[in-house]
Structures are given as structure tokens and as C-alpha cells.
Amino acid sequence: MLYKAQEIIDEANRLGGAVIAAHPYRLGLGYGGEAVKKLHSLTALEVYNGGNNHNDNKLALELAATLNLPGTGGSDAHCIKDIGRCYTEFFTPLQTLNDLIAALKAGEYLARNSGALKK
């Protein structure tokens, strides 16, 4: 499975995209930190996810630091009340997909956590 993941990462990079490993520690839905450590050429790691518990996000933050990757945040919202739990704040306004990719690759953003995470 890691081979396929690396193939996808390589192809996305070849095409000029950005690749973010999402919720690496969520039970049953993530690759797990040890598997993510074997991947190369990631753009970032999701460190704050609104669907994760605090410990999963803490482990993701530690993994991003270990891998020297910037972190992103995402609500992973499935209902209105969950929107904005976690998000990525960009330093400059983004107008196009190319702006987004360039900002992600340059690390011009911060992962944010509203504090309303699962326990």
C-alpha cells in the first residue's frame, strides 16, 4: 500500500501539485506515523483535524516536527457545527489554485485549532 501512496505522491509532484498527508494517526483511517515516515516528497502534514481527538493531533504535530514538514489544519466537517474547528490560515490572499499550491509549497501558512476538539 505504501508503494501505491508513494506513486501517487510522485505523480502529483511531477504534475506540479502539492501533497498533504491527512490525519496520520486516526485509527483505521490513517497510514500511521511509522508508515508516513517512509514516504518522501510530501508538501505538508495535517496536524490539526477537527475529527481527531487531542492525542491524535498531538502525535501528528510531533511527526511534522520530526519530518521537518509544515502543518495544515482542516475541520473534516460533516455538519455545520463542526466547520472551523481546525483550519489553515494563509499569510496572503489566495485567488487561484496555483496560488494555493505555491503557498503550500512555500510553507506560507499556519495550522490553527479553535480549541473545540474531541476529547
Convert the pLDDT of each residue in 105-118 to its tens digit. Answer: 999 999 999 876 55
- Angstrom distance (rounded) from CA 50 to CA 77: 7
In a domain, 6, yes or no: yes
| Mean per-residue pLDDT, 10-39 | 86
- Which residues span the domain enclosing 82? 2-113
Number of residues in the chain:
119
pLDDT bucket at 3, cuts 50 / 70 / 90: low
Has residue 67 been placed in a domain?
yes
* Domain count for the chain: 1
Q: Identify the helix (H) or strand (E) that includes residue 72.
A: strand 71-74
Task: Tell me the pTM.
Answer: 0.88
Identify the pLDDT of residue 70.
98
Question: Residue 118 falls within a domain, yes or no?
Answer: no
pLDDT band at 81 (very low <50, low <70, confident <90, very high): confident
